[in-house]
Amino acid sequence: MKKEIRNYKDEYYPPIPTKFTKFWRACFIYQLYRFFRLNIKIMLLVVKGHS
């Protein structure tokens, strides 16, 4: 019995990020904003949980 080898379908490959996506991933100011926003969300959860 011989195995048949087939190519992968296009949906198996990961999507390629656009230039706009790459820009936002590399933008230091935006990443700093996201960092602080996430930390504030976590701190609010902690504060609500302890009161």
Q: How many domains does the chain have?
A: 1
Instruction: Please report the beta strands in the chain, taking only residues with DSSP state E, as ranges in sequence order.
Output: none
14 lies in some domain: no
SS3 50: coil
Total number of residues shown for the chain: 51
More confident residue, 40 or 11: 40
19-26 and 28-49 are packed helices; what angle lies between their axes, rounded to 10 degrees? Answer: 60
pLDDT, tens digit, for every residue of 2-38?
777 777 777 778 889 999 999 999 999 999 999 999 9
16 lies in some domain: no
41 lies in some domain: yes
Domain extent, residue 40, equals 27-51
33 lies in some domain: yes
Q: Does the model's pTM come out above 0.75?
A: no
21 lies in some domain: no
Q: What residues have CB less than 8 Å from 30, skipping those under 6 apart?
A: 24
1 lies in some domain: no
8 lies in some domain: no
Q: Which residue has the tokens 């490959």?
A: 13
